[in-house]
Amino acid sequence: MSLILNIETATDVCSIGLSNEGKLLSIQESSEAYQHASQITILIEKCIKNAGVGLSELDAVSISTGPGSYTSLRVGTSTAKGICYALNKPLIAVNTLQSLALASLNASGGSNRLFCPMIDARRMEVYTALYNTKLEEIRPLQALIVEENSFDEFFDENKAVIFSGNGAPKCKEVIRHSLATFSDQICSARHLVQLATQQYIEGVFVDVAHYTPNYFKAPNITKSKKFL
């Protein structure tokens, strides 16, 4: 048994999925953008109820690590930690970008392709990395300001790149190469299942007390001029 509660809050979507032995049993997602704090416990309750199990039956909790929205990641992390502490369950941290790359890989089924998940940041900036079909990182995580030639080194080698995530649509008008494909895959708890199950089997857990999300950048906080 590997009954895992999967929590995805890296972006505007609040998504909760319950899986068992790598199969998705139930999923609940909020259509209200950035309402994670008010929605997450409700979605967890619905997800568990629909699957006909109780929280105490969980074997582990998985959390999407980011990068992404600072506040949303904090909400997801605090909720996951609370459940793990209360039930004495292990915590699994799943790389957000890698889970998106895997979703695109599963949907495409193609070889000689690269996968570029993108999380929306500011203006034309995205958080991104590049993966091959083995999900090996061939370009590390970076905050990239996307330009027309940002991926020419791979296109010049005749490698097709599949872009995904909520940062991809704003890049579609900039990256117009014939080898560029834009997927509709966005962050969802369903994309955590395969990697979370693999990590559970391998016993790859994080320390609940010390785990923090991969914010990558500090939040953009401005000070009120009234107090200057």
Assess whether 91 and 195 both reside in one domain. yes
Assess whether 27 and 59 both reside in one domain. yes
Domain boundary among 165, 182, 199: 182
Res. 226 pLDDT band, cuts 50 70 90:
low
Assess whether 136 and 77 both reside in one domain. no
CB-CB neighbours of 222 under 10 Å: 5
Assess whether 86 and 13 both reside in one domain. yes
pTM of the predicted model as reported, rounded to 2 decimal places: 0.92
Instruction: Kindly report the backbone phi and psi dihedral angles of residue 73, in degrees, each rounded to the nearest multiple of 5, phi listed first.
Output: -65, -40
* Contact by Cβ (8 Å): 75, 36: yes
The secondary structure of 148-204 as a DSSP string is TTTTHHHHTTT-EEEEESTTSGGGTTT---TTEEE------GGGTHHHHHHHHHHT-
Interval 110-148: pLDDT, tens: 678 999 999 999 888 999 999 999 999 999 999 999 999
Assess whether 65 and 119 both reside in one domain. no
Domain membership of residue 54 as a residue range: 3-95+188-227
Assess whether 83 and 101 both reside in one domain. no
Tokens 């330009």 label which residue? 147
> Domain with 116 in it: what CATH number?
3.30.420.40
**pLDDT at site 130:** 98
**Which tokens is 65 given?**
């690590």
Res. 219 pLDDT band, cuts 50 70 90:
low
* Contact by Cβ (8 Å): 55, 87: yes
Number of domains in the chain: 2
